[in-house]
Amino acid sequence: MVLCRSQLLSRSQWVHPEVRLTVGNFPGAGEFMANDCRLDARTKLLMITGPNMGGKSTFMRQVALIALLAAVGSYVPATACRLGPMDAIHTRIGAADDLANAQSTFMLEMTEGAAILHGATEQSLVLMDEIGRGTSTFDGLALASAIASHLHDKSRSFTLFATHYFELTEFPAKHAQALNCHVSAVESGKSGEERIVFLHEIQPGPASRSYGVQVARLAGMPASLVRQARATLEALEAKASAGAAQFDLFAAPPPVAVREPSALDAAMAAIDPDTLSPREALELVYRLKKLSQDA
């Protein structure tokens, strides 16, 4: 693996310590899938899509762990690793609330996200895992797109940005240093009863779908519920495809309107309260009132 000022690259027969420990307890669970990662001056942000349980978070943790081990001079479980200057690893992974401090999951997510945006630099590694999921779809999508744009355009950090918002796969089309990638999965079985198989392999390009209903079936949801969810999903997708073209999520914010100074503003700016007599102050109040009515 490599993380340097111009390049972050991972090429390894990597074994994630936590995953390896878990897999070792389940014979036949399979070997850990090693994936390469490259971030450099031309690619600063990877937009990662794919199904739940597909391996997005594990891939992100893999990159962060290799970077951390290499930075402290430790053995690195990789075939090749190049690491340049790195000042910090910033992560926003996981969902949990903080009841003791009266913070919801979303508030905690935003607080940690704000700390990352204020602290990340061009030499930082940033991991953002499904930011914006704790609120409504439109709010979450709007915030996720703005956060990704800030990391790409202003922080310019090496960033792994995992999301289920497929609208964000348009991000690389308007941001030169961003690329799409996804964790692969396939379906098997007859129509209506497909079973999902996770390949845990990072491939270029956006994911074709999220497989949420299939994951719910895999988790043991009742068959009738899965059929209802599938029918609802198909109806929603048909409605969405028949709708208007997607709004430009990555358009620059409108400029702040600059108001021309009014006569009232000029009068207020000319006041020196310490030099006014009581009578002058009273006359000034009447004059300012008249100006406010004329404005």
Alpha-helical regions (H) of the chain: 17-24, 56-71, 105-119, 137-150, 171-174, 212-218, 223-241, 263-269, 278-294
Angle at 195 between CA 189 and CA 197, to 5 degrees: 115
The pLDDT tens digits for 126-172 are: 999 988 887 888 898 999 999 999 999 999 999 999 998 888 999 99
Long-range contacts (CB closer than 8 Å, 24 or more residues apart) made by 95-101: 95/130, 95/133, 95/134
Query: Which pLDDT value is given to residue 102?
Result: 53
**From residue 199, how far is each of 31, 51, 183, 240 by CA, in Å?**
11, 11, 7, 29
Is 76's pLDDT higher than 50?
yes
Is 85's pLDDT higher than 70?
yes
Query: Which pLDDT value is given to residue 120?
Result: 95
Is 177's pLDDT higher than 80?
yes
Return the CATH number of 7-208, one of 3.40.50.11030, 3.10.20.440, 3.40.50.300, 3.40.50.1100.
3.40.50.300
> Rounded to whole angstroms, how far apart are CA atoms 94 and 157?
21
Question: Is the separation of the CB atoms in 183 and 201 below 8 Å?
Answer: yes
Question: Is the separation of the CB atoms in 48 and 58 below 8 Å?
Answer: no
Domain boundaries, the chain: 7-208, 211-242
Give the pLDDT band of residue 101 (cuts 50, 70, 90).
low
In this prediction, residues 96-106 reach a mean pLDDT of 63
Query: Which pLDDT value is given to residue 21?
Result: 59
The pLDDT tens digits for 204-225 are: 999 877 788 888 888 888 989 9
Question: Is the separation of the CB atoms in 173 and 166 below 8 Å?
Answer: no
% the chain with pLDDT above 70: 80
> Rounded to whole angstroms, how far apart are CA atoms 159 and 136?
24
Give the pLDDT band of residue 237 (cuts 50, 70, 90).
confident
